[in-house]
Amino acid sequence: MTTNTYDIGPNAQIDDGVTLGYTYAGWSQKLRIGEHAIIRSGSILYVGSTIGKRFTCGHQTLIRAECNIADRVVILHQCALEGKITLGRGVKIMAQVYLPSRTIIGDFVFIGPGTTFLNHKTPMRTNAPVQGAIIEDRVCIGGGCTICPGIRIGRNSFIGAGALVNKDVPPDTLAYGVPARFHPLPDELKGGNKPKDLLSGTDLWAGQVGDDWHADFPDFT
């Protein structure tokens, strides 16, 4: 389907009450979404973002302009993406997560519900540049965490629920607490998130289904 403000691939499921291609002053690029998208009622997606195939978006989610979202990403209900954000392949974001601009999320990352990312240490007080967090591949972030501006969480790390992450987390690390303290990963948490669990259609309420993800990610079959 093609309009003046968006292009969306075939076999999309778009609920009533969805706004695709919301415009703003000075916009120049359409919203582009790949095939087999599922977008639930109340969600608003701005012009200027590019979203891959098999995208799933819950109810009342906001995605502002200049987001680059890869294939098979799930963003659940009442999340806010403030624009200029990068999400890698197979990312799953649970409900009520806030992502500010300049945030970068790698492949196969899981973000638990109610987690807040920040992008400025001294808002409204200094002119320091906005700097979002960088989350490397296959990181798991539990619910209710706060991820401070400019920090990097290393590949395969696991962040416990409720953590305040205010400094860089090395790869393959368990971090939890306020502020987060670092510990070795237990054996059962090593190796990062399992792509099968992120991609194999575990949504109870008619999300993406089937095992065709194997064709997209043969290195994880």
**Mind listing the pLDDT tens digit of every residue in the chain (221 residues)?**
889 999 999 999 999 999 999 999 999 999 999 999 999 999 999 999 999 999 999 999 999 999 999 999 999 999 999 999 999 999 999 999 999 999 999 999 999 999 999 999 999 999 989 999 999 999 999 999 999 999 999 999 999 999 999 999 999 999 999 999 999 999 999 999 988 888 776 565 656 766 677 777 777 65
Residue-by-residue DSSP string for 113-158: TT-EE---SSTTT--PPP---EE-TT-EE-TT-EE-TT-EE-TT-E
**pTM (2 d.p.):** 0.94
What is the four-CA torsion angle of 74, 79, 81, 86, rounded to 10 degrees? -20
Domains of the chain: 1-76 (no CATH), 94-192 (2.160.10.10)
